[in-house]
Amino acid sequence: MIRRVEVASAVFESAHEQFEAARSPLGDGSEYDFVGGPLAAAVFAFREFDVLSYDVVPAVRSYTVVDSFFGAVTFVAVLRTDEIVEVVSFADDPDYWSALDNDPE
């Protein structure tokens, strides 16, 4: 079943606080890159909410996107009604790529 996916205002507010309006001179991703990249990918994935696994509560699912700007970003969504899923939060690791660069393997 394909569901409609909405994004909570808290997600947009957090992205606005965390990411600059434009890319940095060092090439760090912007708020626009975040919304059009990993957030858009998560929205697309959460459309098929039922195929994503869950830990304890069936109405809560997570999805991780690995993005070239932001590294691994994990999104959490909840099933609000039978037809609507809402992305309610995300967490990222700003040191993801540098941690991989320092990995000897």
Q: Give pTM, 2 decimals.
A: 0.89
Two tokens, residue 36: 């059009």
**Pick from 70, 89, 86: which is nearest to 7 by CA?**
86
Mind listing the pLDDT tens digit for each residue in 14-49?
999 999 888 888 778 899 999 999 999 999 999 999
Contact present, 65 and 82 (Cβ < 8 Å): no
What CATH number matches the domain at 4-101, 2.20.110, 3.40.50, 3.30.70, 3.30.2310?
Answer: 3.30.2310
Outline where DSSP puts E strands in the chain. Answer: 4-7, 60-67, 71-79, 84-92
Burial of 8 (0-12, 13-18, 19+ CB in 10 A): middle
**Distance (Å, whole) CA 56 – CA 53:** 10
Domain ranges of the chain: 4-101
